[in-house]
Amino acid sequence: MIRTVIIGSGNIAHTRHIPNIRRSGLAVLHGIYNRSLEHSRRDAGELGCKAYTCLDEIWADSCVDAVIICTPASTYCRYTLAALAAGKHVLCEKPMSVTAGEAALMLEASDNAEAKLMVSHNQRYYGPHIKARELLDAGVIGIVLNVRSCLGLDLPMDDACPEDYNAASEVLSHRVDLMHYLLSSSVSGVTARLTRVDAQGRSRYVTSGDDTAMAILQYENGVIASLTASRVSYNGNDRTTRIFGTKGSITLYGQKAPVCVELADGQTEYFCLPDVPSQREVEKTLVDEAFFQCILNGGPPPVSARDGLRVMEVVDAVYRSNREGRYIEI
């Protein structure tokens, strides 16, 4: 059993990672750390695990095999570097860091460490996305030409949603990684626009930056993708993706909706996925399970540090394009 410590005992730890550790059969919750010692002791008492008083105590504890980092993204780099140096396997929440420079440092550390580093980009595990990848690999719609994809969330501003939860870094990054997965190609250039809007023209969210991001990505294989991400899509959860090829298109309407294939000859086929886990189950189980499995079998993490760096290179380019008002090559 993999003895695991949770670093950062907020909402995402309690709703996803802690329940999954307990149900996985592969790991045990060995301990928990929060910047508030009072919170650490409270959570540890409720969960029946050890309360750590500082990070150095975790790094020095030979009983700890792995850590799951659930703190704000601004901490990911330094916590990951310290954990890897101490020989602890790391599952890091997404986005991997706040800049591509930090992500590069994390990648270098993971390349030089015996421990593994995995990034928690979970949308690769959604059933419709896996089916779409199968259809694309089989050439069902021919050569992919362009993609349109949205990810619109309606997130409350409370203690569970920090004020630096911005559209480009926290929401668009999901779609950037998904496009890497579906298209099997890297981004060569970006044009982007970021803003703070809502339906009434005023934001009810106290963010430190953007709440809506729009980006046009040019891929090395010639595909162009138009991505829209928002954290202020009222009463909505827009996850529509359309992939257009030389022989037809694939449409993904959402987590439980059928995958629709429309061919140029007029044929339409729907692939129903009744047995796939719900989005919530995926987020609660499959990512953590994949992390534990790669530790046990010695294989590479399914979402590697290099994958995380590729996303951050695009996110950096999105911010730079918005700031400078021009196309940015990567």
**What pLDDT shows up at residue 158?**
47
Spans in the chain with pLDDT lower than 70? 154-165, 197-208, 233-237, 276-284
**What pLDDT shows up at residue 201?**
45
Give the closest residue to 309 by CA, choosing from 12, 76, 89: 76
How far apart CA 188 and CA 204 sit, in angstroms, is 35
Check whether the bond before 162 is cis (ω within 30° of 0). Answer: no
Is 193 in contact with 229 (CB distance < 8 Å)? no
Residue span(s) of the chain under CATH 3.30.360.10 come to 124-277+312-329
Pairing assessment for the beta strands 259-263 and 248-252 based on DSSP bridges? antiparallel
How far apart CA 34 and CA 298 sit, in angstroms, is 30
**What pLDDT shows up at residue 79?**
98
Is 172 in contact with 229 (CB distance < 8 Å)? yes
pLDDT digits (tens, 9 = 90+) for 35-54: 998 999 999 999 999 999 99
**What pLDDT shows up at residue 196?**
74
The CATH homologous superfamily of the domain defined by 124-277+312-329: Dihydrodipicolinate Reductase; domain 2 (3.30.360.10)
| DSSP code string of 71-97 | S-GGGHHHHHHHHHHTT-EEEEPSSS-
Tokens 């162009």 found at = 224
**What pLDDT shows up at residue 153?**
74
pLDDT digits (tens, 9 = 90+) for 235-269: 556 789 999 999 999 999 877 788 999 999 999 99
How far apart CA 302 and CA 297 sit, in angstroms, is 12
Give the closest residue to 265 by CA, choosing from 134, 82, 140: 140
Token digits of residue 118: 């995995």
**What pLDDT shows up at residue 212?**
87
**DSSP code, position 232:** B
Is 325 in contact with 138 (CB distance < 8 Å)? no
Amino acid 8 reads G
**DSSP code, position 278:** P
Amino acid 28 reads V
Check whether the bond before 95 is cis (ω within 30° of 0). Answer: yes
What is 2-122+282-303's CATH number? Answer: 3.40.50.720
Residue span(s) of the chain under CATH 3.40.50.720 come to 2-122+282-303
Is 299 in contact with 171 (CB distance < 8 Å)? no
How far apart CA 141 and CA 145 sit, in angstroms, is 10
Return the beta strands (E) in the chain as ranges: 2-7, 27-33, 50-51, 66-69, 89-92, 117-119, 144-152, 187-195, 212-219, 224-230, 241-245, 248-252, 259-263, 268-271, 328-329
**What pLDDT shows up at residue 231?**
79
